[in-house]
Structures are given as structure tokens and as C-alpha cells.
Structure 1
Amino acid sequence: MIKTRLSLLALLIAHNVNAESLQKNEAIDENNMERIVVTGSRIVESIDEVPASITIINRQQIEAQLKVSTELQTLLATLVPGLAPSTGTSSNSSQTLRGRSPLVMIDGVPQSTPLRNGALGIRTIDANALERIEVIKGATSIYGNGAAGGIINYITKKANSDSKLSGKISVASRFSAVKTGDSVGQRVEGMINGQLDKFSYVASASYEDNGVQRDAEGDVIGLKYGLSEASMQNYFTKLGYQFNDDISLQFVYNYYESKQDSNLVDVVGSVNSGVKTYAIEAPSGTSAYGEPQGPNNHNMMLKYTDVALFENTQLVIDAYAQEVENIFFYSPTLANLDEGYTGGQSLIKSDKEGLRVTLNSQFDWDNVEATFIYGIDTLNDVTSQPLVDGRVWVPEMDMENLAGFLQSKWVVQDNFIIKAGIRREKIDLAVSDYRTLKLCKKVAVCSIPIDVTGDTLNYRATTYNFGIRYNVADYFQPFASYSQGSDISDIGRLLRTSTVTDIALIQTEASIIDNYEIGFTSEIDKLRLEFSAYRSTSELGTTNKYDPATGVYMPVRAPQEIYGYEAVAFYNFSKEIDITATYAWVEGKNTENDTYLGAKQISAPKATININWQPIDNTNLALSYLYVGDRKKFDPVDGKYVGDKGPIDSYHVFNMSGNYSFNQDWTAFIGIENLFNQDYYPAKSQAYTYSGYNVKGLGTTVNMGVDYQF
């Protein structure tokens, strides 16, 4: 068995890098690939040996969803139980995973900015560059800070080892079926890849230009984190070289940019008035405020792999660098009339450099197989949030992170799996002296600027995990797990609202999250069932409370408990038709005050149904259904709902897509989002009472185009 596992790792590397190695091993088909996961333990392993809830989205599912929408938020919300509904905007604020923020990665490299979480991490790569997506749910420290809710790992495309040159070109147009005027957008994407002896390559590019986005009434959707008249571009390259059967080197570069450059302005409504926020052309003689909003993201990754460093031991070294610049919308709440500022626009800047060294040793003793994954992670993360006009809102935070880890897996008699691990975290966060900003929501409602003495904050944490799984039979495979995560995310929010004169007095302690989960999978003939229930606790969660004296939402550090359950059912009627249904429910409280947590963390109940059908050869149809349930846990304060505590009413959305292949080269496709033109507010728009957030969901929108493969 141990030789099989070593072969599996070599085989997966070969599948990505070198055709010669692939031919020297047994063949691997796509079905087997879908049963392999690399995110949970940082090595290749079978999904049936992981005592945790995992969702794997394969390329076929990605392509089906892309016919409807290119937004990864929509795709993930449709296919991942436990992930909150899509926000319908460029922001993934409130789109938590089991009530906590997930760490978003590309090939294991962090994309989120946890030191100042701007909630834009999901949109850091175009889906055209992805082979699959792995989602591991529940707090984990296996990749370090920021994974309080779990991990979303984008696995990028691999080279086609059967050809020196192959590729695909796609052209599409997207428009509102409610009111077409000014809504027509265009998208073009292309990809080439191949194998030249020991050298492999993948190169892809995509460009998308949106028209205005309209709701079910034909009005332009509001601009706060909006996608109307936004342009997106992504350039991705992966180069690999196989020195011999054991040693390979891989280089990856990814650039992603999204900008909303529009001359529209918002007509602002509110949750409390019941009037929606929508956009109109800027009045004659005026123009929209601020610079174009959106993320700008550079990634470089270098991976060295030796599958036979020692006997039964493999080595993987990952070095990476990232530059992020996320520009946010212009906001009048960033005003300071005394200094001549009628508003402002912030941006999050984050530069990361990291190195991960992972070793994997495997042993076989009679009926026991043992795997030990161990190594060291280093990371330097420099993050700040200045304003575009030069004012400093969040000072520069310079984090040095060093961590060592040991993860073990024991497989007893092929069916009983035990996992246990430990991670020791050392984080030093340096912040220089700074002055908080004076911000005025109204002329007479201003925050008081404070001079804060900087320091180096030191965090030390040891976290543990333990899990068991028993594959007693196909019809019942139970598991249980306990995992901890150490989280210092969103320190920047604490710094920018400081009310003390010394950084050492700010409540910046790390939050230790304890996550408990039980569940099972079951396969009975053509039916597959998955169920899990979980509980997550932390002594220092972070929520917000409005301060009417200053007009600022202040962070509140308080203990939290989050709990819920998820269910998935998949039934394959025949090779022509299958159906997947999911349901997820989550709830959470501030246990100190016994009060419910708001929508920034806790989502409304969510159910989905996805049907795939091949009625005739060369034709595929797909129908997806999303249901978001009620969540009404809060009462008005002085007649108004506040913060993220607005009431959520249920809604339903249907999407449909189809494609027809004329031959092996040409395919035409169409996708329709919000098929029945449901007039609704997304969950976040209902719950967020902040000015300008109550925008309606997208009305019926059509996407159609053609693919050419060569």
C-alpha cells in the first residue's frame, strides 16, 4: 500500500508536469482525480481518508457554471454547502464559510489580506485558469493565519501531456433581458498548453467588459462594490520542467485586475425606508467621485518537488510573492471638513513574501500505514489601508510569521483512519507610532483623533487537531474531528478605531478557534449522501457596534459560539442525468451577552438543487435552483434596524444553461441568470443597514457565446 501512495504522489505531479513519467505509471482518469485532495494535509491523499467536510468542484462543474456567470462568488455559493449566498457584488463581505472568514488561496498561496480584511479575496483569479476548487470547512491552522472558517484553494490548470500544442478560445456576450440598453458586455478568453519533452507550459488570458447591470425592474444596480461598467482582465502562466523521474520545478505567475470605471452615481435608499439604492447617470456638468474601484493582484510562485528525497520521503518547497492593491468606493463618511475633505476613498495595500518547506515520510508496518507531514512556514506580510488622498487610516503593519508543524495520519487495516497534528506559531507584528483619523459622518458628529504609540506585538500559539474516520462500508463512513485555528485577522480594523494612546492597550489578542465536527458519507447504489454537524467557539471574536457619538462602528471583542449542519445528496439516474441537492443552516451568538451574531458572520439558511441532463448526443442542459430562507433575530432600535442586523426574507432564484457541440472543435452555449426575473434583495442587501448597501439582485441576464478547441 505504501508504494501505491508514493506512486499516487508521483503520478499527480507527472499529470501536471511530465508525460514520460505518466506513461511509466498506471493511468489515472478524471474520476480518480476527483477523489484526490491536496489542501487538507498539504499532500496528495484520497478524499475518503480525510475526517472532515470537503467540497471539490471539478472543471466540468466550473464550465457549466461559467455559462451563466463568470463570478466565482456565484459559482461557490451555488456549489458549496456552508458558504453564505453570493452578495451579487465584487465584495465577499458576509459570504462567510460556516460563520467565519475563509482563507482564499491559489495553489496553496494565500490571497486574502487577513491583517485588514477587505473581503475581496475570492475575486483574485479568473475561473478560466482553474482546473478545480477544493474547499475545506472548519477552523484550521495548517496554512496559518486567516483560516478561521476554512480554506478555499483554487487549483490552477495543468498542461496537456498528450500534445505539444492545444488550446481553447471563447467569445461571449452578456446582456440584461429586462432592459437591454447599455447592458451589453463582452468577454474573450484564450488558453494554450502542451508538453515539449521535459518542458510543460500553460498560458491563459481573459478580458471581460460589463455593461450596466440591471435588476428585475430594469434599474441599474447600485455602485457600492458594483460590477456595472466594470472591466476584468487576468493573465496566467504556468511553466514546468521535469529534470528526471523524481525532481521537478514549476513557476506560476498570475495577474488579476478588476475596475469599475463609470460615470454613474447612486440614488441612495435604505433598509429602514424600504427604498432601494440604484444608479443613474451623473447629472450634467458633474461626474462620479473618486478613482475606479476594484482589486489589482500580482502573484509569483516557484515550486520545487523531489518525490524521492530519501527512502519513502518526499520534499516540496514553495516560494511565493504577492502584491495586492484593492481600491474601495468613494465614501462621504471619510469626510473631514476642517481639513477640506468632503469624503474619501481607501485602498488596502498588502505585500507578501513567503516560503513553505513540506516533507512527507511514509511507513508501512503490517496492517498499519503511517504518514508524517512536517516542515516550516515563513511569511512576511506588510499591509496598510491609506486613503487615496494621502491620509493614513490604517498604519502599516509589518508581520513576521514563523511556524513549524507536524501532521500525522495512521491507516489501520485500510479502513480506520486517525489523524493528529500540532502547529507552533510565532508572529511578530510591528506598527510604528500613528495618529487615528478624524472622520465626520455629519458636521457635528466626528471621531476624535488620537496619537497612538506603536510597538511590536508578539503572538505565540500552539494549536492541535485530531480526527478519526471509519470506512466500515460504502453505505456508512462516519468521521469526527477536533481542530484549532489561531487567528489575528483584521487587526487593522482595531488599530484604526483605537481609543487609547498605546498600541499595547488595544485588545489585539489572537483568537483561538475550537472547531468540533461529526458527520458521515454514504453510498448506496447510485445515491451518495453527506451530512455533518459542527460547533465552533472562540474567546475573542470580533463584531461591530455603532457609536452614535462619533458615527463610527467600533469593534467589539467578545466570546462567540457558532453551530450548524450541512447535508448533500447526489443521485445519478443514468449517464444522461444526475441531480445534486444541498442544505445548510448556521447560527451564532455572542455568548457573553447571549445575543445573536449579525449577517457579517451568520448567513440565512441556504438550499440548492443542481440538475445536469444530456438529452441527446452533443447537447448538455443544466438547471440550478437557490433558496435563501428567513433570518429575523433582531428588533429595531428606536424604530430602525442598525448595523448588519436587518431582517432577511426568503427568496428563490433559478438559473439555466445549455450547450451544443457542432463537432469536436466548435461549441455554442447559452446561460440565463435569474431565469424567472425574480425581484428580490440578496441576503446581504437586506441585512446591511449601512448607507447604499440595499441594492436589488440581478434581473434576468443572458450570456451566450462560442468555444473553439484545437
Structure 2
Amino acid sequence: MLKTSLCLLSVAVSACAIADENSKNKYSVDQLEHVIVSGSRIFESIDEVPASITVINQQQIQQHLKVNPELSSLLAQMVPGLAPSTGSSSNSGQTLRGRAPLVMIDGVPQSTPLRNGSLGIKTLDASAIARIEVIKGATSIYGNGAAGGIINYITKQAKSDGQPEGEISISSRFSAVKLDESAGARISAAINGGLDKFSYLISASYEQNGVQRDSKGDILGLQYGLSDSETQNYFTKLSYDFDDDKQLEFSYNFYSSQQKTDLGDVTGDGNIGEKTYAIHVPKELQKPGKPQGPEGNVNITLKYLDYALFDNTQMTLDLYKQNIENVFFFSTNLANLDDGYSGGQSVIKSDKLGARATFNSQFDFDNLTTTLIYGIDALNDKTSQPLVDGRIWVPEMNMDSVAGFLQTKWVINDDIILKAGVRKESIDLTVADYQTLKLCRTATQCSVPLSVRGDTINYDATTYNAGIKYNLSPAFSPFFSYSQGSDISDIGILLRAATVNDIALIQTQASIIDNYEVGFTSQFDDLRFELAAYKSTSELGTSNKFNDVTGVYEPIRAPQKIWGFEGLVNYAITPQLKLVATYSYVEGKDTQADEYLGAKQISPPKATANLAWQASDDIALTFSYLYVGDRKRFDKNEQGQYVGDQGPVSSYDIVNLSGQYQITPQWSSYFGVENLFNSDYYPARAQSYTYGGYNIKGLGTTATLGAKYQF
């Protein structure tokens, strides 16, 4: 802790530039659509990035919000390489190129990599987001947890010019199969303005879901369910311009989303095709404990920017603090009848205090522009996973991290881009003495509690990246990149399943992921192609295997290889009709056992299409299509059942429709229909996860009606 505290004091604040539409940079408003900040922590043109990236703009966010307010659904539809949406509050199994992504808000990590509960995607309401930047492939540019890449939510910016402006939106979402109890309500509002050197943005949203129903009208099962959930988000951004080059910014985000219901599950057997669904039950049959979901997660960020620290150098400093409490569902797998526990409910708690300082220096020579990006990061992360009843499942892990980095970029003759970088990271992870829990799946199938001696584990890693892109012509711009990521994610799952009595004997070593990617972009007038192939390897991955004796899924550290390819077509058919289509394929193996990896990492093939039609000045329609293919890599066990995350996935497809009518310059109405043709299907995760309660059908036809007022 001392090392991190000294670093926090020395840097005072952290560096993660965000996409500020009003900031003093070399890009115009129109060009900002082609600018990102997540890949190297400074503003740079997409054409100068030798890697696959996806940017989801404000218009695309608003279009999808009419159909489904969940960000996991939006990302699955728009990002090639990201697994299909789970249709729930959990993004378990929704990996990016077969590995876990690091989810961020304006560069502040929302994921809890030390105990990855796969809830990071659901951390902010879409109404507060200006754009989303997705950088694919292992990277260490933001530190631990980005084995699969980065998903960065760039929030809306406070405006310092003109009169205050704002908007209010109200809508209802309901099942078109069976209306009974399904109608929900949503309201969001925002105001944005400025006075002299001060500017502000305040937004709030509140949503109350009704019950969610499948294509037969049955209520969806409750495991990570969204029926009867209540979601609140309050976001504020305040900014003060000292002069044209210096700015201080403060932001605050509060997010909660909890399921408060009187329903109970009727659990089916996925191995014989029985779905799990929910019904109204007496209080004594309802799941005990607290409502599941984020209980009230808070992010506070203070940022200072100086666009002209020296003639050729910019500086960004920021300090962030975060408190997360994600509550899981009550599970009988956490039972210990000997001590009076019929089950249990866990909570992932994470408190982060971080600081980053980034400097950006640019030098111009004849036919050569050189950019140096360098700085220091510091983070203290305290994460644990206790049970609501007071038992400790995962002890507190206290991580201190300090890292220095240097990223270089050379642009030669405006068409050859070379990048190379290095990051040196030092991590101390402290765990006190603890005892593993006795957990019983049945009366005779129990884990054995073990006293484990704690310690401080030291990790020192140096990771590198290099890439080249040649903008030969608009018709062909090839690139190649190599990047490494240092990952100590999900140490908590190793600790809670310990089978030795000393933490030093647990395989907690960091994974170094080597990521290779080759691809190209092509632009022909109104038609754009993107194609990339990739491979990532790691000497230590983390999968799991079911122990028939103890009833516990035990972690396995084994080498892994993941590979795949993806493509995107963006075609402006006419000025009013635009098409975006994607395809992605990923596969992976445990190379030591020569066995395919399960669905927690590897998703089936996926294709999407989005057709936006501006029918007139006042009418806009959007059609979206999702296809998920087969993946059947595993056989049944001796008892004739699929186990773990090895269930076979059969293909399915979904069509959505949304539209908007501009009634007046201030008033507009809109609608959205999810699963337009009422397909009867199980989402990919529901098919592949054989764990109890996951075999839940997808949403049947669900409609949204709403109106928006802008002033």
C-alpha cells in the first residue's frame, strides 16, 4: 500500500483522455467520428491504428436503445468478435475474441478482474454515453484485466457554449406475446449548458421492468434475470476552463440495477430440453436474501488537462475512486447443512483508488511525424467475495500496482504508420490467512474446508507491442500487429477452490497473452470493407473441471491457443439507406490436453446486419438481424449428459425493427420491436451452460413505445 500511496501523491491524478467534442485538438467535429482515444490514451485517427477497432456512434446507440436498453445486446449486435448477448444481467460467456475484455467508463475500469463476476458491461445507462470504443486483442495499455481487449464507454460531454439545452424521454416496454404484468416504464432526462468558463452536464434515468416473457408467453427464469428489475443511473460532469489550454473536470456516476420480485423458478433439465421458467409462488418459496444485481456502484473522477504544457507536449492527469457491490442470486450450491446453511448468496465487493498521468509529445520532421506517449499509472484494488450470511468465500485481495509505459508512433510520408511500446508493471497482491468454505451440492457431496496461509505475492511483468499499417491506397490499407497483455485476473476463483494449505503453492502466476493480428481495410466510394485474422496464446489459461467427489468446479491452469477471423462491410447504398454487416468466428483449445475450450470462453459463429433507412426528413427506420451458428465440440459423459460449459449450441436468428417520427423540431415519437417474428430459441449461453438454472429461453416478441422532448 505504501508504494501505491506514494505514487498517488506524486502523480496526484491519472491519465485517460476521453473523447471531448469541445476539446482543443486538431480534429474537427466531423472528423471526430474517425477519431479514437482508447487504443493509445490520446486522440488519434482510426486510419493510424494498426489494429481492429469498432466505434459505436451516438446514432447507433440511440437506434438500439429503442429496441433494447441493455448494453450487452447493443455490443453483441455491433461488435464483431464479441460473443452473443446472454439476454440477462450477466455477461458470463460474452467474451471478446475468446478472452475477457476490460470494461471502462472514460478509461476508469469497471470490471473486477481479481474476482471476475462477469457483470462489468452493465455499469452505465446508454443514455449517458456519447460513443463506445472497442479495441480488440490482448493489451496492457490500461493494466490488468484486458486479456481480450477494451470496451470503453465514452460519456457525453458538458458544453460550454450557447444556451442550456436538454431532453426528456419516456417509454414503456412490454411483451407482445402476453401483455399481462409485462409492461414496464422508463424515463430519462438530461440538461447541458455553461456559463462563462464553467460547463455542466446532468443526466438521470430510471427504469422499472415488468416480467419478461418468452415466445410462448411464459416468464423467463430468474437466474441473472431482468424481470421486475429496477434500474437507476445518475451521472454528472462539471468542467471549468482556466484558459484555452487548461481544463479541470469532475464526474460522478451512480448505478444500481436490482431484481425485486415475488416470482420463483420452475427449474427444468437442459439435458432433456426442459426450460427453466418463473411463476408466482408463496413467500416461503421465493428466493431468500437480498435482490440480485449492482447494489449502488459509484465512480468519482477528477481530471486535469493541459493541451499546451510545452510547445509540443500535452498532459492529462486524473484521479479516480470507485466502489462496487454486485449481489448474486441465492444458490443452494452454497449450502452447508451441518452449520445450518441451506444455501448462500455472494457479493463481489471492490474498492479502487487509482491515478494516471499521461504525456503526449509530438515532433514534426520532413516527411515524418513522431509521437511519444508516456506516463505512470498507480492503482490500489481491494476485492473480496463474502456471502451475505457473513461467511467468507473469497478473502480480501489487496492489490498495489505501479506501472510506467512508453508508446511511440511514427507516421512516414503520411501513409506508413509504425507503432511500438513497452509497459513495465509491478504488482503486490496481499492475502491474509483464511479458510476455504465447506460447500455441499448434496448431503454426501461436499468440499473439504482447508486453512490456507496467506502471503504477499509479487508480480513483475514487462509487456511489449508493435504494429505497422500501410495506407497504400483507400482501396487497400493492410496492417499487422503484435501485442502482449499481463493478466492476473480471477485470482479469487483460485483462492476459494484451494486444495493446498499455503497461498504460495496455489497456481496464481500471471498469464502473459501474446496476440497476433493481420488485416486490411478497403474503401471504395460508399463501400468499406474490414477483414482481420488473429491468434492469441497463453502459457497459463484458467478453465475448470467438475470434481464428482466434492461437487466443486476446480480451476485448471493450462496453456491455451485461441484463433479466429472477422469481417465488416459498411455500405451507403444511397444517402438515405445504409448497411452495416459483420461476421465473426472464434475457436480455441487447451493445447496441453488438445481439447477444445468451453463456452465460457469460445462462442459460436455470429453474423449481424443493420439496415438504417431515412425514409424522409421526419421518418427513420432501422432493421437489425442477428444469426448465431452451431458449435458442437463435445460429447456426453458416461451418464449420458453434457457437463459444465460444454453443451451443444444449435443455430438461431433474430430480427428487430425500430423507427422514429419527428413530430415537431422539439417532439419525436419512436417504437422498437425485439424478436419481430417471435422466434422460439435458447440463447447460446443457455444452450451451452449445463449449470442449474441457466436453461432459460430468449425473449419473445417485445415492443417499446416512447416519446422524446428536446429543448
Give the structure 1 partner of residue 603 of structure 2: 603
Query: Residues 262 and 283 of structure 2 are in contact (CA less than 8 Å); yes or no, is this contact kept in structure 1?
Result: no
Quote the residue 1:73 is aligned against.
Answer: 72
SS of equivalent residue, structure 1 residue 504: helix
Match of 1:329, SS?
A: coil
Whole-Å separation in 1 of the counterparts to 2:140 and 2:505: 26
Question: Which residue identity lines up with residue 535 of structure 2 in the other structure?
Answer: R
Residue pair 1:160, 1:166 contacting (<8 A) in 2 also: no
8 Å CA contact 1:465–1:484 kept in 2: the answer is yes
Asked if 1:122 is matched to 2:128, the reply is: no
Q: Deviations over 1:197-241 (max 9, x none)?
A: 111111000000000000001000000000000010000000000
Q: Is 1:92 matched with 2:98?
A: no
SS of residue paired to 2:223: coil
Structure 2 letter corresponding to 1:380: N
Partner-residue secondary structure (3-state), 1:78: helix
Q: Are residue 15 (structure 1) and residue 21 (structure 2) matched? A: yes
CA distance in 2, matches of 1:243, 1:405: 29
- How many percent identity over aligned positions? 63
Structure 2: distance between partners of 1:435 and 1:322: 28
Return the alpha-carbon distance in structure 1 between the equivalents of residues 603 and 413 of structure 2: 41
Query: Residue 287 of structure 2 contacts residue 330 of structure 2 at CA under 8 Å; is this kept in 1?
Result: no
Distance 1:567 1:369 in 2: 30
**Are residue 32 (structure 1) and residue 28 (structure 2) matched?**
no
User: 1:3 is matched with which residue?
Assistant: none
Q: 1:461-500 alignment to 2 at 5 Å?
A: 461-500=461-500
Native 8 Å contact 1:262 1:288 kept in 2: no
Q: What residue identity is the alignment partner of 2:476?
A: F
CA–CA distance in structure 2, aligned partners of residues 259 and 246 of structure 1 = 42
Structure-1 residue corresponding to 2:305: 305
Q: Is the 8 A contact 1:315 1:359 kept in 2?
A: yes
Provide closer, same or farther for how the CA distance between residues 284 and 324 of structure 1 changes in structure 2, counting only shifts above 3 A. closer
Aligned position for 1:207: 206
In structure 1, give the amino acid aligned to 2:22: N
Aligned to 2:169: 170
The separation in 2 between residues aligned to 1:603 and 1:13, in whole angstroms, is: 31
Aligned to 1:181: 180
Aligned residue in 1 for 2:697? 696
Q: Is the 2:21–2:32 Cα contact (8 Å) retained in structure 1? A: no
| Paired amino acid for 1:705 | G
Are 1:587 and 2:587 counterparts? yes
Aligned pairs for 1:363-442 within 5 A: 363-442=363-442
Q: Give the 3 Å change call, closer, same or farther, for CA 206–500 of structure 1 in structure 2.
A: same
Match of 1:4 in 2: none
**Equivalent position amino acid for 1:271 in 2:** G
3-state DSSP of counterpart to 2:574: coil
CA distance in 1, matches of 2:19, 2:532: 32
Structure 2 matches for 1:658-677, cutoff 5 A? 658-677=659-678
Aligned equivalents of 1:401, 1:585: Cα separation in 2: 35
Distance 1:549 1:14 in 2: 56
Q: What is the aligned partner in structure 2 of residue 626 from structure 1?
A: 626
Q: Give the CA deviation at 1:13.
A: 7.7
CA distance in 2 between partners of 1:132 and 1:436 (Å): 43
Contact 2:160 2:198 in 1 (8 A): no
TM-score calculated relative to the size of structure 1: 0.97
CA distance in 2, matches of 1:287, 1:517: 49
Secondary structure of 2:157's counterpart equals coil
| Corresponding residue for residue 680 of structure 2 | 679
Shift of residue 263 of structure 1? 1.0
| Cα distance, 1:689 vs structure 2 | 0.1
Residue identity matched to 1:494: L
For the residue of structure 2 that corresponds to 1:581, the secondary structure is strand
Shift of 1:27: 8.2
Query: C-alpha root-mean-square deviation of aligned residues, in Å?
Result: 1.3
Aligned equivalent of 2:6:
none
Closer/same/farther in 2, CA of residues 13 and 349 from structure 1, 3 Å limit: closer
Taking a change above 3 Å as real, the CA distance of residues 231 and 432 of structure 1, as seen in their structure-2 partners, is same
What's the offset of the Cα at 1:58?
0.5
1:285 and 1:207 map into 2 onto residues whose CA distance is: 30
Cα distance change, pair 27–581 in 1 and its aligned pair in 2 (3 A): closer
Say whether the 8 Å CA contact 2:18–2:107 is kept in structure 1. no
CA deviation digits over 1:669-706, x for unaligned, max 9?
00000000000000000000000000000000001100
1:15–1:161 CA contact under 8 A, matched in 2: no
Q: 1:287: Cα distance to partner?
A: 3.4
How many residue pairs match? The answer is 694
Per the TM alignment, residue 26 of structure 1 is displaced from its structure 2 partner at its CA by 8.2
Q: State whether residues 160 and 196 of structure 2, in contact with CA within 8 Å, keep that contact through their aligned partners in structure 1.
A: no
Aligned 8 A contact 1:282 1:288 in 2 = no
SS in 1 for 2:270: coil
User: SS in structure 2 opposite 1:249?
Assistant: strand
Q: Which amino acid aligns with 1:398?
A: N
State the alpha-carbon separation in 2 of the partners of residues 398 and 568 from structure 1. 42
Q: Is the 8 A contact 1:432 1:453 kept in 2?
A: yes
**Structure 2 match to 1:240:** 239
Residue number in structure 2 paired with 1:555: 555
Question: Contact 1:393–1:496 (CA<8 Å) still a contact in 2?
Answer: yes
Equivalent position SS for 1:15: coil
Closer, same or farther: CA 272–26 of 1 in aligned 2, 3 Å: closer
Q: CA deviation at 1:615?
A: 1.4
Change (3 A) 1:324 1:27: closer
Query: Given the superposition, is the C-alpha separation of residues 14 and 536 from structure 1 closer, same or farther in structure 2, using an over 3 Å criterion?
Result: closer
- Look up the SS of the partner of 1:272 in the other structure: helix
Equivalent pair of 1:407/1:419 in contact (CA under 8 Å): yes
Instruction: From the superposition, tell whether residues 302 and 624 of structure 1 become closer, same or farther in structure 2 (CA, over 3 Å).
Output: same
1:137-286 matches, within 5 Å, as: 137-283=136-282, 286=285
Aligned partner of 1:574 in structure 2 is 574
Aligned to 1:5: none
Contact 2:18 2:37 in 1 (8 A): no
Deviation at 1:367, TM superposition (A): 1.1
Aligned partners of 1:527 and 1:572 also within 8 Å: yes
Partners in 2 of 1:266 and 1:583 — Cα distance? 36
Q: TM-score, normalised by structure 2?
A: 0.96
Give, as a single letter, the amino acid of the residue that structure 2 aligns with 1:647. P
**Cα distance between partner residues in 2 of 1:87 and 1:69:** 13
Give the superposition deviation at 1:161.
4.0
1:135-186 CA deviation, whole Å, 9 max, x = no partner?
0000000000000000000000012344231000000000000000000000
> C-alpha distance in 2, partners of 1:285/1:410?
66
Give the aligned partner of residue 316 of structure 2.
Answer: 316
1:499-551 deviation per Cα after TM superposition (whole angstroms, max 9, x unaligned)? 00000000000000000000000001110000000000000000010000000
Contact 2:221 2:265 in 1 (8 A): yes
What is the CA–CA distance in structure 1 between the aligned matches of 2:608 and 2:182, rounded to whole Å? 28
What secondary structure is seen at the aligned counterpart in 1 of 2:63?
helix
Aligned-pair distance for 1:283?
A: 3.2
Residue pair 1:62, 1:132 contacting (<8 A) in 2 also: yes
Find the counterpart in structure 2 of residue 47 from structure 1: 46
CA distance in 2 between counterparts of 1:230 and 1:463 reads: 42
Match of 2:3 in 1: none
Gaps of 5+ in 1: 1-8
Cα distance in 2 for residues equivalent to 1:455 and 1:248: 43
Partner amino acid, structure 2, of 1:635? D
Cα distance in 1 for residues equivalent to 2:20 and 2:157 = 10
Q: Shift of residue 281 of structure 1?
A: 0.8
2:5 matched residue in structure 1: none
Question: What amino acid is the match of 1:221?
Answer: L
